């Protein structure tokens, strides 16, 4: 069996450090918003090159807090994509604003800057580009458009720890960058967790208050806040994993190179690579019109896989009221029928990658032999 993701292999490698960190927290007397959390915020801000970091209870709440800190809510529109995880769009709704969905680029499946410019209206207050699968969106173009129209830029970096553009980490191009530490992420906790980065220290202080009921230092609520705090155990775990993140990213990039080399002659469409962009390879996503055929072959061979994402957000019942009917976002809808995520995690072995690719090669070879090209 080759799993799509396996955190236990990572724990086997880092277990002693992780268990020592957890033991330190349990015996410290501090379980919420203590020294581990403060240290992790400082270390993560330094890693990405930001002046401040504010941890939260999840990646979703990080986006909600970012929007609320900027005063974005009822009556405002926020531009983002439908080809993303539901939390991107759900967070906008939770903040009280209206999502304005635009299509993605055909090659990268990332937000199309041209579509962003077309979608801006009198109620538009912000843009939320998603660095999907670990691939950086076109931030220089998006920031330029946002600046022209005085819009905030909130980067959804949930899948992009370690992704950079010309050496600059994603999350530092816009007003606020939002990260998730869900266990499957490149930097994953052993539970939920999130974080916002910003260079605006006043904005950071506002986010700190929002995450903890709006309290000031005297526990008086100065703002209508929420309860969204990263606990000390998760912070301690993340501090250990952050020290090993570059090593894990190197392994992911090696796996991605092997996938690309072994799959170039098959009938699948490989992820797009762009100069100056450092992909974090949270996921290795191929595209094929014969996805069902491959999934059946994987199931027979005991190979795990995922679909990110099988149904665009605008086609889900909960978001039908947004007003986007079938065909309104054609590239997004086409991608939902074709994308397939191959196993990807740092401890995946070269032999396992070969087995995954061999299954794809045999599947396509069998079809070509029978005169059925993909």
Mean pLDDT of the chain: 96
* Cut 0.95: pTM above it: yes
Check residue 203 and give its pLDDT.
98
Q: Residue 372: pLDDT band by 50, 70, 90 thresholds?
A: very low
Q: Residue 348: pLDDT band by 50, 70, 90 thresholds?
A: very high
The pLDDT tens digits of the residues spanning 89-141 come to: 999 999 999 999 999 999 999 999 999 999 999 999 999 999 999 999 999 99
3.30.470.10, 3.30.499.10, 3.30.70.3400, 3.40.640.10: which CATH number matches 7-102+110-243?
3.40.640.10
At 266, list the tokens. 């098959």
Residues 6 or more apart whose CB falls under 8 angstroms from that of 214 comprise: 221, 222, 223, 224, 225
Check residue 374 and give its pLDDT.
42
Q: Residue 259: pLDDT band by 50, 70, 90 thresholds?
A: very high
Same fold, 7-102+110-243 and 245-369: no
Check residue 14 and give its pLDDT.
97
Distance CA 272, CA 307 (A): 17
The mean pLDDT value for 60-76 works out to 98
Residues 6 or more apart whose CB falls under 8 angstroms from that of 331 comprise: 83, 103, 104, 105, 106, 109
Distance CA 303, CA 294 (A): 10
Check residue 369 and give its pLDDT.
37
- Specify which residues 286 forms β-bridges with: 340
Nearest C-alpha neighbor of 195 from the set 365, 38, 19: 38
Q: How many CB atoms lie within 10 A of CB 199?
A: 15
User: How are beta strands 277-278 and 152-156 bridged, if at all?
Assistant: unpaired
Least confident of 3-17, 264-278, 357-371: 357-371
**Domain ranges, ordered by start, for the chain:** 7-102+110-243, 245-369
State the SS3 of the chain. CECCCCHHHHHHHHHHHHHHHHHHHHCCCCCECCHHHHHHHHHHHHHHCCCEEEEECCHHHHHHHHHHHCCCCCCCEEEEECCCCHHHHHHHHHCCCEEEEECECCCCCCECHHHHHHHCCCCEEEECCECHHHCCCCHHHHHHHHHHCCCEEEEECCCCCCCEECCEECCCCCCEEEEECCCCCCCCCCCCCEEEEECCHHHHHHHHHHHECCECCCCCECCCCCECCCEHHHHHHHHHHHHCHHHHHHHHHHHHHHHHHHHCCCCCECCCCCCCEECCCCCEEEECCCHHHHHHHHHHHCECCECCCCCCHHHCHHHHHHCCCCCCCHHHHHHHCCEEEECCCCCCCHHHHHHHHHHHHHHHHHHHHCCCCC
Distance CA 102, CA 332 (A): 9
- pLDDT cut 70: percent of the chain above it: 97
The pLDDT tens digits of the residues spanning 72-94 come to: 999 999 999 999 999 999 999 99
Check residue 370 and give its pLDDT.
43
The pLDDT tens digits of the residues spanning 212-250 come to: 999 998 999 999 999 999 999 999 999 999 999 999 999
Check residue 364 and give its pLDDT.
79
Contact 155, 179 (CB under 8 A): no
Fold of 245-369: 3.90.1150
Check residue 245 and give its pLDDT.
98
Check residue 366 and give its pLDDT.
56
The pLDDT tens digits of the residues spanning 286-337 come to: 999 999 999 999 999 999 999 999 999 999 999 999 999 999 999 999 999 9
At 327, list the tokens. 């065909």
The pLDDT tens digits of the residues spanning 150-168 come to: 999 999 999 999 999 999 9
Q: How many CB atoms lie within 10 A of CB 324?
A: 20
């Amino acid at each position: 069996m080759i799993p799509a993701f396996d955190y236990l292999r990572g724990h086997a490698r880092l277990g002693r450090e992780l268990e020592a960190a957890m033991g330190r927290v349990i015996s410290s007397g501090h379980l919420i918003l203590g020294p581990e959390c403060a240290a992790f915020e400082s270390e993560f801000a330094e890693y990405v090159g930001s002046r401040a970091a504010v941890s939260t209870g999840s990646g979703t709440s990080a986006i909600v807090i970012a929007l609320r800190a900027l005063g974005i809510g009822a009556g405002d529109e926020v531009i983002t994509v439908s080809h993303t995880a539901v939390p991107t769009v759900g967070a906008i709704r939770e903040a009280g604003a209206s999502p304005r969905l635009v299509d993605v680029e055909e090659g990268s499946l990332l937000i199309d800057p041209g579509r962003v410019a077309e979608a801006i209206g009198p109620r538009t207050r912000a843009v939320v580009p998603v660095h999907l699968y670990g691939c950086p969106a076109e931030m220089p173009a998006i920031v330029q458009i946002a600046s022209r129209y005085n819009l905030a830029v909130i980067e959804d970096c949930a899948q992009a720890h370690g992704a950079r553009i010309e050496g600059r980490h994603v999350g530092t191009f816009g007003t606020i960058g939002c990260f998730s530490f869900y266990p499957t992420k490149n930097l994953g906790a052993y539970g939920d967790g999130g974080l916002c980065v910003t260079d605006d220290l006043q904005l950071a202080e506002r986010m700190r208050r929002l995450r903890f009921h709006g309290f000031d230092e005297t526990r008086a609520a100065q703002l209508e806040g929420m309860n969204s705090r990263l606990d000390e155990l998760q912070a301690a775990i993340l501090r250990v994993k952050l020290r090993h993140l570059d090593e894990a990213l190197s392994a992911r990039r090696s796996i991605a190179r092997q996938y690309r080399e072994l799959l170039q002659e098959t009938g699948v469409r490989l992820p797009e690579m762009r100069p100056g962009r450092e992909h974090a390879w949270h996921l290795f996503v191929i595209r094929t019109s014969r996805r069902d055929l491959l999934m059946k072959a994987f199931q027979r061979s005991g190979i795990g896989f995922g679909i990110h994402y099988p149904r665009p957000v605008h086609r889900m019942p909960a978001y039908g009221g947004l007003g986007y009917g079938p065909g309104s976002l054609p590239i997004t809808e086409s991608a939902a029928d074709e994308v397939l995520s191959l196993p990807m995690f740092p401890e995946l072995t070269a032999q396992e990658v070969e087995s995954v690719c061999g299954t794809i090669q045999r599947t396509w070879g069998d079809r070509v032999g029978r005169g059925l090209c993909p």
